Structure 1
Amino acid sequence: MKKILFPTVLATLMTACNSAPDYDATGIFEATTVTVSAETSGKILSFPISEGDSVIAGQRLAVIDTAMLMLQQRQLNSLRQSTESASPDIAAQAAALRSQISHQQQECDRFDRLLSDGATTQKQYDDAQAQLRVMQAQLTALLSTLGNNRNSISDNAVAIQYQTEQIEEQIAKSSVKSPISSTVLAKYAEPGEFATPGRPLCKLADLDRIYLRAYFTASQLAELKLGQIVTVIADFGGDKQYEYPGTISWIAQESEFTPKSIQTSDSRANLVYAVKIMVKNDGRLKLGQYGEVRL
């Protein structure tokens, strides 16, 4: 009886030793995720999304109360208007003095003619010229003062405008929008709660295009290149498997130790290279699901 079983057992062992996995690498499906956080403070007025909802880029996800911001905006607008209205009208304020200077210039011209005809004295002419110079100096000083005042008021108005724009930006950020077309994976807040800058509100993921992060040995790298089409097999348990075309989108530049949850075609390999393979999701693939790759 022993002589009959021995060859059978030996054949079985040889078959097991010669068998090789029908995959070149394995990995886990992952996706590009985005954590959307609040950028301003206030009570959350509305947050109508639910986990599993599909959203598009630019879609409003939540609204944060802007009552205080709107009040600040109105106050700043009023302050800017009153500040700008205080700006001096240089032309109007200098008009009277300019008119006096023009009249005094005419007087100086008249005294010049009279002096030429001997009808006036040199002192009278000099006094008229001195008065003209005083008026001109007064005009220069007035223009300088008014100009400085206007520049100062203008600077204040610009500073107020900057503050207004900052408030307007905060008001815009109070409407929280989706940065990408995606699916809501998790929701971290509810209406009525208080949001602060940096507080996570929800987590989004693009599930239309997901990635299998697979691990290849150094000897397999020569067979890989960016843009290469490979076959990805998704395991749904039992004998249920589906094949998908995948595109290599990223190859790691450095090796790492083989993750415990990953099997490689060469069980002796301690160091592997991570490779991301993009797969168009038909709705069946889930994050964290196991997958295999055939080159």
Structure 2
Amino acid sequence: MKQLACAILIAVLAGCTRSDDREISASGTIEATEVNISAKVGGRIDRLPVDEGTAVRAGDTLAVIDRSDLAIQLRQAMANAAAADAQFRLTARGARQEDIVQAEASFKNAEDDLKRAEELFKANSATQKQLDDARTRFIVSRSVYEKLKHGPLPEEIDAARARREQAAAQVDAVRKQIADAVVLAPSNGEITQRSVEVGEIVLPNAALFRLSRLETVHLMIYVSEIELARVKSGQSAKVFIDAAPGKPLPGRVTYISPIAEFTPKNVQTKEDRTKLVFGVKIEAANQLRLLKPGMPADATIVTDTSSVR
């Protein structure tokens, strides 16, 4: 009888060991990827079409900031761009033919005036100042005529082109600010925090919302060095929560920490907190939204695929 009892006990212990070899169980807390959404521009909040708990898709409008001042700046920038473009085209085209003819006539008159002033000065009929004035008019008129006749320098055209491009860039910058005044959802998810109300003034880069991506959540558990040798990325896992007892949710191992650490302080016993462990992240699909961030959960990693049915 004693031999039979010993045999049964050995069989039970052996069965428990095989079960431990096939699976690793641990507990953790459900976490979700969270994105803090900020305003790129400052101003008064005009519209907030979403609230906490609203499910959004990538590209949905979350907030609209007042753009009336930016609209005025855009008109100013566009006017400056038009003026710079006209100046560039005028410079590149060069002087009109009638302007060249007029400059040539002024140059000839100044040349004749200078000759008369020189003759009168020699005859003591003109003062030195009158001669100097005539010579100055001659030099200026000749310079204007030569410049119009030969056209603008390449450097002048380049400078006019640069001013045009600078004005166009200013238009683009204001248009971008107007676009940034509409805050869009960067991805699918759920608004879990809204930090502003309609009518509030916000500063650039101020946080407005927190978006949680709940389609897929993850659970970080910690395993010992001995258990780590049996854990591999991609292994199947089962996640259990108190809200759905007996209904394991499928998951898989997506990350294994290469660095040992002490068990996190949220582990209850002091003995466990002093152990060196390795973090293992388990990812689980959450289409039914049963898994909530902050919810405690248990996970079982299937280390022996032959046990999976």
2:93 counterpart of 1:86: no
2:290 counterpart of 1:289: no
Q: TM-score, normalised by structure 2?
A: 0.69
2:202 counterpart of 1:200: no
Distance change (3 Å), C-alpha of 1:289 and 1:92 = closer
Structure-1 separation of matches of 2:241 and 2:187: 26
Instruction: Give the drift of 1:292.
Output: 1.3
Q: Is 1:76–1:160's contact at 8 Å kept on the other side of the alignment?
A: yes
2:55 counterpart of 1:54: yes
Structure-1 separation of matches of 2:272 and 2:65: 54
Provide the secondary structure at the position in 2 that maps to 1:232. Answer: strand
2:227 counterpart of 1:220: yes
1:200-223 per-position Cα deviation (integer Å, ceiling 9, x unaligned): 101011111110111111111111
Q: Is 2:42–2:65's contact at 8 Å kept on the other side of the alignment?
A: yes
Structure-2 separation of matches of 1:34 and 1:206: 8
Structure-1 separation of matches of 2:43 and 2:60: 20
Match of 1:138 in 2: 146
1:19-48 per-position Cα deviation (integer Å, ceiling 9, x unaligned): 999962111100000010110011010012
Structure-2 separation of matches of 1:93 and 1:250: 71
Instruction: Give the drift of 1:243.
Output: 0.8
2:161 counterpart of 1:154: yes
1:64-90 per-position Cα deviation (integer Å, ceiling 9, x unaligned): 111111111110111111222223255
Distance change (3 Å), C-alpha of 1:153 and 1:234 = same
Provide the secondary structure at the position in 2 that maps to 1:61. Answer: strand
Structure-1 separation of matches of 2:297 and 2:232: 20
Provide the secondary structure at the position in 1 that maps to 2:214. Answer: coil
Structure-2 separation of matches of 1:92 and 1:55: 57
Provide the secondary structure at the position in 2 that maps to 1:223. Answer: coil
Alignment of 1:69-80 (within 5 A): 69-80=70-81
Q: Is 2:78–2:171's contact at 8 Å kept on the other side of the alignment?
A: yes
Provide the secondary structure at the position in 2 that maps to 1:198. Answer: coil
Instruction: Give the drift of 1:188.
Output: 0.4
Distance change (3 Å), C-alpha of 1:263 and 1:226 = farther
Distance change (3 Å), C-alpha of 1:75 and 1:288 = same
Distance change (3 Å), C-alpha of 1:241 and 1:53 = farther
2:252 counterpart of 1:247: yes
Q: Is 2:267–2:273's contact at 8 Å kept on the other side of the alignment?
A: no
Provide the secondary structure at the position in 2 that maps to 1:153. Answer: helix
**1:232 pairs with one of 236, 239, 243:** 239
Q: TM-score, normalised by structure 1?
A: 0.72
2:170 counterpart of 1:163: yes
Instruction: Give the drift of 1:235.
Output: 2.4
Distance change (3 Å), C-alpha of 1:231 and 1:213 = same
Structure-2 separation of matches of 1:90 and 1:170: 32
Q: Note the aligned Cα RMSD (angstroms).
A: 3.2
Which letter maps to 1:190? E
Which letter maps to 2:61? R
1:190-239 per-position Cα deviation (integer Å, ceiling 9, x unaligned): 110012111110101111111011111111111111111111112239xx
Provide the secondary structure at the position in 1 that maps to 2:290. Answer: coil
Unmatched segments (≥5 aa) in structure 2 = 1-15, 102-141, 302-309
Distance change (3 Å), C-alpha of 1:268 and 1:71 = closer
Match of 2:113 in 1: none
Match of 2:10 in 1: none
Which letter maps to 2:52? E
Structure-1 separation of matches of 2:290 and 2:273: 33
Q: Percent identity?
A: 28
